[in-house]
Every structure is written in C-alpha cells, then in structure tokens.
A = this chain, B = another copy of it.
Amino acid sequence: MTMELKPLFGKVALLGIGLIGSSMAHAMRRADLAAHIAGYARSPETLDAAKRIGFADTLHDTPEAAVRDADFVVLATPIGAFGELAQAIAPQLKTGAIVSDVGSVKAAVVRDVALHIPAGVHFVPAHPIAGTEQSGPEAGFAELFDGRWCVLTPPEGTDAQAVETVKMFWRRCGSEVELMDAKHHDIVLGITSHIPHLIAYNIVGTAADLETVTQSEVIKFSAGGFRDFTRIAASDPIMWRDVFLNNREAVLEVLGRFYEDLAALQRAIRWGDGEALFNLFTRTRAIRRSIIEAGQDTPAPNFGRSRARRN
C-alpha cells in the first residue's frame, strides 16, 4: 500500500508578509502545506526582502493579484487594514476558497471582514498566539508556532469542513488549536496579551518622562525588572495601535479590574499592610509554575538569558 502525501492546499495567498506571514510561509514549507505560496505586501522594501529570503513562490504588490486562484487566503497585515483588503479581494475569490486571518482581535475583525466575503467562500477567523518583539519579513522563522495555541472563532453556521481544514493547517504548523466565541476570545486576550502590552508601553513611557531620573539611569539599572517590559514595549506600533482601537470594550473592562486591584495594593503599601502584600506575592508564584508545566515558558531563570558576561 502506498500513501500519497500531497500538500494540504494548492495555492495559499499571504496578504501581509511581516513576522507572522513570513513565519507561516516558513512553517508551510517545513510541513509541505502548499504547492504554491503567494505573498502580498504594499511596500517595495518588504517585497525586496521577501524575494531575497525566498519564502514565497510569487510576490505581488496588489492583494487582488495574490489571491487569484488561491485555495487559502490569510489576512496578515495590521488589523486596521482588514476591511479594505477583504473588499478588494472579494471579486477575485474562487468558489470553495477559505479566507482566514491572524488578527489579535476577533469580534471587530469578524464584523469588518465577513460582510465582504462572497457566497461560496468560507471565512474561518484565526489567531495564532505567538510572536516576538521583532517585525518584518526578516523576523520570521518556521518554529514560531511550535507548541503555541491557535484560537479559531468561526461564527455560527461556518462550514464544518472548512473549520477542520484550518485546524489541520495550524496543527501542521506546530500549534495546538482551540475553538472559541469571538467575544470571549477578545476578553481572554485582553488579559493575557493586550493589557500586558498596554502596561508595558505605559511604564516605559512613564520612565522616559520622569524628570528626577535620567534616561541613562533607567537604561543602566534596567536589569532590576524594567528591561523585561521594554521587550514587549518594542512590539510593532501599528499592529498594537490597531489592537487597542479594535478591542476597546474588552480592554477597558480588564483595565478597570487592573486599576481596582492596583488601588488595593497601593493602599496596602501606604498603610504598611505587609500581610496583604505577602499574600498576593505568594499567590502569584503558582501561576508561573503552571505556565512552565504547560510548556508555555522556559523554566530557566531569567528566561535562560545567557549566564555569560552581558547576559
């Protein structure tokens, strides 16, 4: 008996080939998921870089050209551009094609994109929870999604076979897959991703603006904890602007909880309530342990930053 192994898709179009899009291309090559990978980017610099690296079979400067005859189309630009992109490609989509995305917000995205998807085309929204603080086509690598979760938020009535295919796609990219309601996704990611980014951006801004502490002092003594926040605060500004503009409700809700808790902590410090501080600081240790046990972070101290000089 012979088993014929063929790529999952004939042609895949990546609309956006930054960190996530280019990593998907590398992961697709690794697992032989596409017979043809087409990449679209707006800027000539991005297209040149992609050409040099060679992760796509064809490169296009319009989304319409990229999606022609594609079986799987992935929106991978900052989410603010999704609506316009979906509108532009709609007339070119072939019947039976699957459209997906990698946006960090789902409710707003599903709303903006879904209304442009023609009958006979399946829309399966997705969000791979993976990334680094770097951006652009040079930042991508095949292993980015390994062991990470990818959340699918198909609206009710989505074609079951299309959902299965997208699940299979992400599994073969190295991820585990979970299905979720779009609104629930947005609140889960609000606490696990959006608020952490907001807080990190904010504290780095606060540090930059303190008159009593020089910039050079902030940099020199950043190993006390601050430097960890600067990694997240170095994430792509356009991507994150669009996340906050599109997940306003959930972000403001979780932020309200964060405020409340911080006020209680502030009060404990003001009144010297050591027990309240100790109790919180003990409780938070357990979550770290669970994250490590779940394989979602390294157990190595300091994230395994080299022990060598200049670690």
Contact = CB atoms under 8 A, between A and B. Distances in A.
A139 to B, nearest CB: 7
Nearest to A198: B265
B310 A295 contact: yes
Given A193-B225, A201-B280, 7 more contacts: A133-B302, A184-B212, A204-B284, A210-B254, A219-B287, A228-B231, A238-B278
A261 interface: yes
Given A297-B305, A309-B143, A248 B225 contact: no
Given A188-B221, A191-B210, A297-B227, A199 B203 contact: yes
Interface string A166-203: 00000000100010000010011101111111111111
Interface stretch (A88-96, A117-125, A239-247): A239-247
Given A197-B225, A232-B228, A265-B201, A298 B311 contact: yes
Contact of A225 (B187, B220, B224, B232): B232
Oligomeric state, in number of copies?
2
A215 B283 CA distance: 13
A210 to B, nearest CB: 6
